[in-house]
C-alpha cells in the first residue's frame, strides 16, 4: 500500500529517513546535545539539509531515569513542534510519545505522526491519531513497562510474537478510525528483546514487510549492534549502516536515525541497486 504522512504520499519503493531530535538532557547517544532550544533548532535545519523527510521529536529518553510527567514532556515538545511546523511546512513531523495527552497536544500544533515506541501502553493513543487524521507507528515491546529494560525475555518465536502484536495493534487502530495508509509497524529492536532477538528480527524482516504494512526500523546505535561488534555507543555507525542496508534490501521503508547524511547515502545506493532510483550520473565508459 502507499504510505500517507501529512499531505505526502509515498510508494512502497520509497526509503525514508526519520531524523532523531532529542529534547532531553540525558539521551543515551547525544548526551543532551539538542536539549537547548537553539541547538535543537539547528539540528532540525541540519537534518532537513541532509535529506531527512521526517523529524522525530522526543521529550523523554527511553532508558530508565528521572520521572518525567506529561506536563513536563509537553513543555519539552509542544512549542518545539509548533516552531518546526512554522519553519518547515513541508517537513513531516513525528513525535515520540506513548501518552495520549501528549499526542493530542502535539497534534493540535501540526504533528503528522505519533511514534508510539512502547507498544500501546496507553490504549487511548490510537483514538487521538484517528481524531486528528494523523499517522501512527505501532511497535512490539513484549509487554514491558515504558522506560524499563528487558530482563531475560523469552519467546517461542520472536518474529511470530512481533507479528501478532503489531498487526493486532494496527488492525485495532484501523477499527478506531486511523486510516490504513497512515499506519506503520516497527519490530522495535532492543525494546523487550535481547541481542539474539533483535538479530533474528532483522534476518526475518521480510516477514513483516509481507504483511503489507509499511515497516519502520529504529536501528541507530542500538545495543544489539554494539554487542554484535563489541563497540561502545559512539562507535556503532558502521554496524548501524550495515544493518540499514540489509533492512532496506528486505523492504523496510522508514529509518529512524541519528546520522542522516550517511543513512541517506546507504538508502540511495540500495534504491539504485534495486532499480528504484537512477544513478546520479552515468559517464563511465561513455567519455
Model pLDDT for residues 223-238, shown as the tens digit of each residue: 999 999 999 999 999 9
Average pLDDT over residues 38-61: 97
The pLDDT value recorded for residue 29 is 85
| 276, pLDDT greater than 90 | yes
Convert 226-242 to b/e letters by CB count within 10 Å (16 or more is b): bbbeebeeeebbebbbe
Q: Is the dihedral of CA 175, 165, 212, 103 positive or negative?
A: positive
Q: 259: helix, coil or strand?
A: coil
% of the chain residues with pLDDT over 70: 100
| 31, pLDDT greater than 90 | no
Class of domain 3-274: alpha beta
Q: 34: helix, coil or strand?
A: coil
108-117 confidence digits (pLDDT tens): 999 999 999 9
Three cell numbers at 234?
559512539
The pLDDT value recorded for residue 287 is 86
The pLDDT value recorded for residue 98 is 98
Instruction: Spell out where the chain has E strands.
Output: 3-5, 8-10, 16-22, 54-58, 92-96, 113-115, 135-139, 183-186, 216-218, 254-257
Please classify residue 12 by burial: count the beta carbons closer than 10 Å to its beta carbon, then call 0-12 exposed, 13-18 middle and 19+ buried: middle
The pLDDT value recorded for residue 183 is 98
Is residue 172 flagged as an active site residue?
Answer: no
Active-site annotation holder among 76, 204, 256, 264: 256
139-189 confidence digits (pLDDT tens): 999 999 999 999 999 999 999 999 999 999 999 999 999 999 999 999 999
Instruction: Spell out where 103-253 has E strands.
Output: 113-115, 135-139, 183-186, 216-218
Top-confidence residue, 65 or 113: 113
The distance in angstroms from the start CA to the end CA of the chain is: 42
- List the strands of the sheet with 16-22, edge to edge: 183-186, 135-139, 113-115, 92-96, 54-58, 16-22, 254-257, 216-218
Q: How confident is the model at residue 49 (pLDDT cuts 50, 70, 90)?
A: very high
Summary mean pLDDT of the chain: 97
* Of the candidates 254, 273, 279, 261, the residue with the CA atom closest to the CA atom of residue 54: 254
Is residue 61 flagged as an active site residue?
Answer: no
Active-site annotation holder among 99, 222, 236, 264: 222
The pLDDT value recorded for residue 26 is 87
Amino acid at each position: 500500500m502507499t504510505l500517507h504522512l501529512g499531505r505526502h504520499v509515498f510508494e512502497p519503493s520509497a526509503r525514508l529517513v526519520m531524523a532523531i531530535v532529542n529534547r532531553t538532557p540525558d539521551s543515551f547517544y547525544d548526551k543532551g546535545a539538542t536539549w537547548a532550544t537553539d541547538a535543537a533548532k539547528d539540528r532540525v535545519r541540519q537534518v532537513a539539509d541532509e535529506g531527512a523527510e521526517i523529524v522525530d521529536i522526543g521529550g523523554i529518553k527511553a532508558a530508565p531515569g528521572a520521572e518525567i510527567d506529561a506536563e513536563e514532556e509537553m513543555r519539552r515538545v509542544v512549542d518545539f513542534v509548533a516552531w518546526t511546523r512554522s519553519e518547515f511546512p513541508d517537513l513531516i513531523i513525528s513525535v515520540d510519545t506513548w501518552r495520549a495527552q501528549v499526542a493530542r497536544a502535539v497534534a493540535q500544533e501540526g504533528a503528522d505522526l505519533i511514534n508510539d515506541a512502547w507498544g500501546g501502553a496507553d490504549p487511548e493513543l490510537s483514538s487521538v491519531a484517528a481524531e486528528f487524521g494523523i499517522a501512527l507507528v505501532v511497535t512490539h515491546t513484549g509487554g514491558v513497562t515504558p522506560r524499563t529494560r528487558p530482563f531475560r525475555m523469552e519467546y517461542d518465536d520472536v518474529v511470530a510474537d512481533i507479528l501478532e502484536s503489531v498487526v493486532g495493534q494496527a488492525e485495532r487502530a484501523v477499527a478506531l478510525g486511523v486510516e490504513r495508509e497512515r499506519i506503520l509497524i516497527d519490530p522495535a529492536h532492543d525494546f523487550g528483546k535481547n541481542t539474539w532477538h533483535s538479530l533474528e528480527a532483522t534476518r526475518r524482516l521480510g516477514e513483516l514487510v509481507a504483511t503489507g504494512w509499511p515497516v519502520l526500523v529504529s536501528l541507530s546505535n542500538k545495543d544489539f549492534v554494539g554487542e554484535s561488534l563489541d563497540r561502545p555507543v559512539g562507535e556503532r555507525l558502521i554496524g548501524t549502516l550495515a544493518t540499514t542496508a540489509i533492512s532496506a534490501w528486505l523492504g523496510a521503508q522508514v529509518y529512524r536515525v541519528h546520522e542522516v547524511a550517511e543513512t541517506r547515502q546507504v538508502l540511495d545506493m540500495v534504491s539504485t541497486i534495486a532499480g528504484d532510483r537512477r544513478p546520479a550520473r552515468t559517464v563511465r565508459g561513455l567519455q
